[in-house]
Amino acid sequence: MALIVMKFGGTSMAGTERIRAVAARVKRAVDAGDRVAVVVSAMAGETDRLVNFCREASPLADPREYDVVVAAGEQITAGLLAIALQAAGVPARSWLGWQLPVRTSDAHSVARIEAIDTAGILAAMDRGEVAVVPGFQGLADSGRVTTLGRGGSDTSAVALAAALKADRCDIYTDVDGVYTTDPRIVPRARKLARITYEEMLELASVGAKVLQTRSVELAMKEAVRLQVLSSFSDAPGTLVVGEDEEMERELIAGVAYDKNEAKVTLVGVPDKPGVVAMIFGPLADANINVDMIVQNIDKGEGTTDVTFTVPRAQLPLSLDVLDKARAGIGYARIIPDANVAKVSVVGVGMKSHAGVAATMFRALADRGINIQAITTSEIKVSVLIAQEYVELAVRVLHTAYGLDGEAPAEAEDVL
Amino acid sequence: MALIVMKFGGTSMAGTERIRAVAARVKRAVDAGDRVAVVVSAMAGETDRLVNFCREASPLADPREYDVVVAAGEQITAGLLAIALQAAGVPARSWLGWQLPVRTSDAHSVARIEAIDTAGILAAMDRGEVAVVPGFQGLADSGRVTTLGRGGSDTSAVALAAALKADRCDIYTDVDGVYTTDPRIVPRARKLARITYEEMLELASVGAKVLQTRSVELAMKEAVRLQVLSSFSDAPGTLVVGEDEEMERELIAGVAYDKNEAKVTLVGVPDKPGVVAMIFGPLADANINVDMIVQNIDKGEGTTDVTFTVPRAQLPLSLDVLDKARAGIGYARIIPDANVAKVSVVGVGMKSHAGVAATMFRALADRGINIQAITTSEIKVSVLIAQEYVELAVRVLHTAYGLDGEAPAEAEDVL
């Protein structure tokens, strides 16, 4: 008899018909003898509706009151799922964030979970009840409602699984697992049976939005076995586990891409100590998230060029910040370029295998794709290329690392 | 400096623009030096939406979970009004039912308020903060969310006013007060400056739905001075007060009508002890609310006729119940009639004035309106008439008791 946390996202909870389908799925787990706690998101679109109300009421809404308003979305679905479970013959009750309680920091609208008191729901589960917990919400020491920030329900589920010492945390979503790459670009992309936390994090941070990054970090820290599955099929999902569990290590887990980057090049930057800090300090102060950074070698002229990427939406702000900092930095010219994309290969296997990057560079060169910047981590190599080549690059790399499956995948969405 | 509870209904809270208008109105009270607690309903239509979700999830929804779902409506508007007040420069915070707490019985979906802990909000009001409290919701001793039943926010407001020993409880609604009768029928109906609790209760129970009946009963019991006003105008409202405060007693406060009645006549009922119990026992068991009852005198034949009214929606059920009880009762024939209406004159003045009923009967007879049944209470005389005469009867009685105002009233709605 396993203890399982099942988490259902907004698409799975969108309307009472889908909520009944979720109840049927939970019932199957209960009938199989598992003890189950369920974490639910608000109905798809509901959180946006509530956030918009807050913005209309005031662009500078008090985050404590914002939390009161938006937490209502998950409260509604938690009650409805408990009703649907009972109607399906499964004893169930809802446990709101303040009832458990889910203790969080008091950083309203971006709170962090600090502790979950599980005594009540463990007793209820021992009585054969399914515990239904609204995701995203918690309680500050002040006694006020908090929320975890958008997408926080994944984190709620993982934190609850950790607190309950659950055997597994199943995240039901609108995709049926994690793929080697985006099946819309590569029809022969394969669903991964397993992936490590580290790989999942690297894939998420380069644009594969299957799980909220914070939830994967927390799962890794607390050693919670995660599974990503579809609410709408019975296909096996992808298990996200620690590296020690990943027995058959593949060299590369997947190929990811991100079209939401923009490149900035500062030409003629004086090559002197402290100049890099003068560039990136003001950008950090403006909350601009700088990603890839390349500094050219000074060829003896006393100046260098510095290239880096920022989120495309922040490009105008970045140019403004750099323009104001121009006197301090002393660069000659600034060249923005929004026509770029980042392509990454990710895999824990590359820790112990040389030549991964070389394979990437050769495969891209063979197709005449120019690399504008490179960054590497322990388990990832990323390159910046012109955006029009992104699909070609993903396909070429998917084949070069031997990831192509035998038949076109049926899945509709996402890496 | 007065302490005022202001309550705003669903129409007043329907959308952020109206919520900002409510905030402006609250600000005026604060600027005038009053300490203010505000009780809010859910946005118009929102509670229906949530109730429908519950019904779709299961026709027999667990009332404990139903309460979790529907309480979300007032949680949302409470947070939004706090945001709008802050945006208007008024310090404010929301206090949810479980945060105060508003302690209720554990009769989920029809809970009764038992006590309200006001220490927190009194301290907040002393700091100059407006306390925003969602109506309709509370907390059972079990630690679970309760709701008071539809329209319960009026009761929440009165209970809070009683607990705070407020100087006044202002109920803002979509009508601007209580009228001598329905201005749609009598354009010269007058808005009453004052009305007693008892009169208000009698008017409410015969179809003038300005305030929830329970809230008026509670206001009477706790001696809370109520005022009914419009959210959409600055016209003075109607004050609902105790009889001792009602200095200039008018004989009649108003004329009310109710078209939602149906008449049932049982012909040839054996005139023996216990027969009436055999009629009304099964109806009560079926939760049918019998109103007027008339038993004819036995003219020596050993049988009598019994006539009574039931809510029209319950007429088919009533006939079914009576058909099943026919053998026990032993009546000869049953005559249903849905084409009836009840017209009532209400006024505390009639306690000390004879002739009120006689005036009514004469005025109706002069117009050839036949009276099918009569009931009286201390402060009310009601007659049952054919429905086609209802508007004529209301106009005739309004004039007969000298209630006609000088000019057509501007108000659009309701008695």
CATH code (residue A382): 3.30.2130.10
The residue out of A143, A158, A173 marking a domain boundary is A173
Q: Say yes or no for a CB contact (<8 Å) between A58 and B98.
A: no
- CB of A90 within 8 Å of any CB in chain B? no
A248 and A165 within one domain: no
Q: A154, A240 in Cβ contact below 8 A? A: no
Q: Say yes or no for a CB contact (<8 Å) between B75 and A69.
A: yes
**Chain B contact set for A93 (CB, 8 A):** 64-65
- CB of B80 within 8 Å of any CB in chain A? yes
Q: Say yes or no for a CB contact (<8 Å) between A66 and B72.
A: no
Question: Among the residues of A106-145, which ranges form H helices?
Answer: 119-126
Write down the residue that tokens 């309203």 correspond to.
Answer: A108
Q: Say yes or no for a CB contact (<8 Å) between A64 and B93.
A: yes
Size of interface A-B (CB pairs under 8 A): 115
- For residues A246 and B185, the model is more confident at B185
The pLDDT value given to residue B133: 98
Euclidean distance between CA atoms A84 and A13, whole angstroms:
12
Closest by alpha carbon to B334, among B324, B348, B342?
B324
The pLDDT value given to residue A208: 59
Q: Say yes or no for a CB contact (<8 Å) between A99 and B143.
A: yes
- CB of B93 within 8 Å of any CB in chain A? yes
The residue of chain A with its CA nearest to that of B23 is A57
The pLDDT value given to residue A267: 93
Euclidean distance between CA atoms A117 and B2, whole angstroms:
43
Report the residue from B53, B58, B76 with minimal CB separation from A72: B76
pLDDT band per the 50, 70, 90 thresholds, residue B255: very high
- CB of B19 within 8 Å of any CB in chain A? yes
A411 and A288 within one domain: yes
Residue B263, H or E segment? strand B261-270
B131 and B40 within one domain: yes
How many angstroms separate the CA of residue B203 from the nearest CA in chain A? Answer: 36
CATH code for the domain of A24: 3.40.1160.10
The pLDDT value given to residue A175: 84
A415 and A294 within one domain: yes
Query: What is the residue range of B325's domain?
Result: 244-415
In a domain, A257, yes or no: yes
**Chain B contact set for A61 (CB, 8 A):** 83
How many angstroms separate the CA of residue B84 from the nearest CA in chain A? Answer: 5
Closest by alpha carbon to B326, among B383, B399, B270?
B270
Q: Say which residues have a Cβ less than 8 Å from residue B35's Cβ, sequence separation at least 6.
A: B1, B2, B3, B4, B125, B126
The pLDDT value given to residue A7: 98
The pLDDT value given to residue A413: 46
**Chain B contact set for A16 (CB, 8 A):** 53, 56-57
Q: A297: exposed, middle or buried (C-beta count within 10 Å: 0-12, 13-18, 19+)?
A: exposed
Q: A61, A54 in Cβ contact below 8 A? A: yes
How many angstroms separate the CA of residue B195 from the nearest CA in chain A? Answer: 37
* Size (chain B), residues: 415
Q: What is the mean pLDDT of chain B?
A: 91
Euclidean distance between CA atoms A290 and A261, whole angstroms:
10
**Chain B contact set for A130 (CB, 8 A):** none
The CA-atom distances, in angstroms, between A73 and each of A14, A45, A50, A373 are: 11, 10, 8, 43
The residue out of A140, A173, A206 marking a domain boundary is A173
In a domain, B195, yes or no: no
Q: What is the pLDDT of residues B97-106, one digit of tens each?
A: 999 999 999 9
The pLDDT value given to residue B407: 60
- CB of A93 within 8 Å of any CB in chain B? yes
The residue of chain B with its CA nearest to that of A72 is B72
Q: B388, B169 in Cβ contact below 8 A? A: no
Report the residue from B76, B87, B143 with minimal CB separation from A69: B76
- For residues B204 and B276, the model is more confident at B276
The residue of chain B with its CA nearest to that of A87 is B58
**Chain A contact set for B145 (CB, 8 A):** 96
Q: What is the pLDDT of residues B115-166, one digit of tens each?
A: 999 999 999 999 999 999 999 999 999 999 999 987 799 999 999 999 999 9
Q: Say yes or no for a CB contact (<8 Å) between B83 and A19.
A: no
The residue of chain A with its CA nearest to that of B120 is A143
Question: In this structure, are strands A261-270 and A303-311 parallel, antiparallel, or unpaired?
Answer: antiparallel
Q: Say which residues have a Cβ less than 8 Å from residue B369's Cβ, sequence separation at least 6.
A: B385, B386, B389, B392, B393, B396
- CB of A14 within 8 Å of any CB in chain B? no
B50 and B136 within one domain: yes
A263 and A157 within one domain: no
In a domain, B239, yes or no: no
A264 three-class SS: strand
Euclidean distance between CA atoms A395 and A410, whole angstroms:
17
Q: A343, A259 in Cβ contact below 8 A? A: no
B390 and B271 within one domain: yes
Q: Say which residues have a Cβ less than 8 Å from residue A312's Cβ, sequence separation at least 6.
A: A260, A261, A262, A338
Report the residue from B50, B64, B79 with minimal CB separation from A76: B50
- CB of A117 within 8 Å of any CB in chain B? no
**Chain A contact set for B17 (CB, 8 A):** 56
The residue out of B136, B151, B173 marking a domain boundary is B173
- CB of A100 within 8 Å of any CB in chain B? no
pLDDT band per the 50, 70, 90 thresholds, residue B348: confident
Which of A83, A100, A144 is the best residue to mutate to test the B interface, defined by the most B CB atoms within 10 Å of its own CB? A83
- Start-to-end CA span in chain A (Å): 33
In a domain, A205, yes or no: no
Q: Say yes or no for a CB contact (<8 Å) between B65 and A50.
A: no
Kindly state the greatest CA–CA separation across chain B. 79
Which ipTM did the prediction report?
Answer: 0.82
Report the residue from A20, A65, A93 with minimal CB separation from B94: A65
B129 and B13 within one domain: yes
Cβ count within 10 A of residue A143 = 12
Among A196-200, B7-11, B26-30, the least confident range: A196-200
- CB of A168 within 8 Å of any CB in chain B? no
Q: B166, B3 in Cβ contact below 8 A? A: yes
In a domain, A411, yes or no: yes
- CB of A144 within 8 Å of any CB in chain B? yes
B259 and B115 within one domain: no
A166 and A20 within one domain: yes
In a domain, A225, yes or no: no
Q: Phi and psi for A88 in degrees, rounded to 5?
A: -85, 5
Cβ count within 10 A of residue A295 = 16
B275 has a pLDDT exceeding 90: no
β-pair partners for B258: B342
A282 three-class SS: helix
A125 and A24 within one domain: yes
pLDDT tens over chain A, length 415 residues: 799 999 999 999 999 999 999 999 999 999 999 999 999 999 999 999 999 999 999 999 999 999 999 999 999 999 999 999 999 999 999 999 999 999 999 999 999 999 999 999 999 999 999 999 999 999 999 999 999 987 799 999 999 999 999 999 999 988 888 889 988 899 999 999 999 999 998 887 665 568 888 899 999 999 999 999 998 888 889 999 988 775 556 788 999 999 999 999 999 999 888 888 889 999 999 888 898 888 887 777 888 899 999 999 999 999 999 999 999 999 999 999 999 999 999 998 887 777 888 899 999 999 999 999 888 888 899 999 999 999 999 999 999 999 998 765 454 444 4
How many angstroms separate the CA of residue A165 from the nearest CA in chain B? Answer: 26
Euclidean distance between CA atoms A277 and B120, whole angstroms:
49
| Dihedral, B277, B282, B283, B287 alpha carbons, nearest 10 | 120
Q: Which amino acid is at A59?
A: P
**Chain A contact set for B83 (CB, 8 A):** 54, 57-58, 61-62, 65-66, 69
Region B192-196 average pLDDT:
91
Q: A366: exposed, middle or buried (C-beta count within 10 Å: 0-12, 13-18, 19+)?
A: exposed
Both tokens of B319, joined, read 């006939």
A249 and A166 within one domain: no
Both tokens of B331, joined, read 């009546």
Q: Phi and psi for A64 in degrees, rounded to 5?
A: -70, -40
Distance of CA A17 to the CA centre of its chain: 28
Q: Say yes or no for a CB contact (<8 Å) between A58 and B87.
A: yes
In a domain, A388, yes or no: yes
The CA-atom distances, in angstroms, between B78 and each of A139, A149, A285, B104, B122 are: 18, 21, 35, 19, 18
How many angstroms separate the CA of residue A12 from the nearest CA in chain B? Answer: 14
Q: Say which residues have a Cβ less than 8 Å from residue B374's Cβ, sequence separation at least 6.
A: B292, B294, B357, B381, B382, B383, B384
Q: What is the pLDDT of residues B296-306, one digit of tens each?
A: 877 778 888 99
Q: B113, B156 in Cβ contact below 8 A? A: yes
Q: Say yes or no for a CB contact (<8 Å) between B57 and A145.
A: no
In a domain, B107, yes or no: yes
How many domains, chain A? 2
